[in-house]
Amino acid sequence: MALMRIGRKVKDLGITGPFTRWYDKNTREKRIGEMREYANEVKKHLTNNAAVLEVAPGPGYFSIELAKMGSYNITGMDISADFVAICQANAKRENVAVDFLQGNVSKMPFEDNKFNFIFCSAAFKNFKEPVTAMREMYRVLKSDGIALIVDMNHDVSKETLNEAAAKYSNGGFERWFMKTTFKGLCKGAYSKAELENIIKQTPFNKNEIKESGIGFYIYLYK
């Protein structure tokens, strides 16, 4: 059993310390295009002044890129105080308005029916109580709201891992490091069958799970 799968049974896994600064730098240098792709995907489902929540934003670049694309009310909530500080600094530097705050997805500090859209990338596998987290997403979504979870695929193929490592590295040690990192993250993630079982335990009666690269796009409709 992967260390991540053991760890999340104890507590929700937030990233703190020096790794947050590495993650911020790596995302800014190598993943901004990916963040823009996510933002463009979410934008398709939004109207002006839509209320958007990003759960576990990390360094915040998805929310920042989305804020550049339209007039939305965007909130980012992360369990890590270190990441919240980084998010706030990044938003200030990019001159966009995003409300970044600290909070736990299993008990979100929001009233019912607040958001039109919820986005969560590369974090769902870390949640100690995934069913509770998904139920909380349902609770804070408005009627006809949508949640999109993007996360790793436990059953990803070796070939797909190699392709992802090549995409996010310049070769050599860096490519080996990225492949090892992705492999470890995927081993700690859920399979499609496990995701389907989690969703069955929530009020989300309509959903769609699409494979994409080393992960899934999981659409949940209220």
pLDDT the model gives residue 6 = 41
pLDDT at 172 over 90: no
Residue 29 has pLDDT above 60, yes or no: yes
- Give the model's pLDDT for residue 11: 52
Q: Where are the domains of the chain?
A: 3-155+190-221
Task: Name 142's Cβ contacts closer than 8 Å, sequence gap at least 6.
Answer: 51, 113, 114, 115, 116, 222
User: What is the percentage of the chain residues whose pLDDT exceeds 70?
Assistant: 86
Give tens-digit pLDDT for 75-88. 999 999 999 999 99
Query: What does DSSP say about strands 215-221 and 141-152: parallel, antiparallel, or unpaired?
Result: antiparallel
Tally DSSP H helices, then E strands, for the chain: 9, 7
Residue 7: pLDDT over 50: no
Residue bearing the bigger pLDDT, 37 or 27: 37
Average pLDDT rounded to a whole number, residues 132-154: 96
Q: What is the average per-residue pLDDT within 160-179? A: 70
Higher-pLDDT residue of 213, 137: 137
| 109: its two tokens | 């500090």
Choosing among 3.40.30.10, 3.50.50.60, 1.10.3720.10, 3.40.50.150, the CATH entry for 3-155+190-221 is 3.40.50.150
Percent over 90 (pLDDT), the chain: 65
Task: Measure CA 79 to chain center.
Answer: 12
Q: Are 129 and 154 in contact (CB under 8 A)?
A: no
Distances (CA, A) of 8 to 4, 30, 74: 6, 27, 28
Answer for the pair 190, 215: CB distance below 8 angstroms, yes or no: no
Average pLDDT of 52-63? 97
Residues 173-186: tens digit of each pLDDT: 777 777 677 666 76
Q: Decide if 107 contacts 55 (C-beta within 8 A).
A: no
Q: What is the pTM for the complete model shown?
A: 0.86
What pLDDT, on the 0 to 100 scale, is given for residue 5?
45
Average pLDDT over residues 21-44: 91
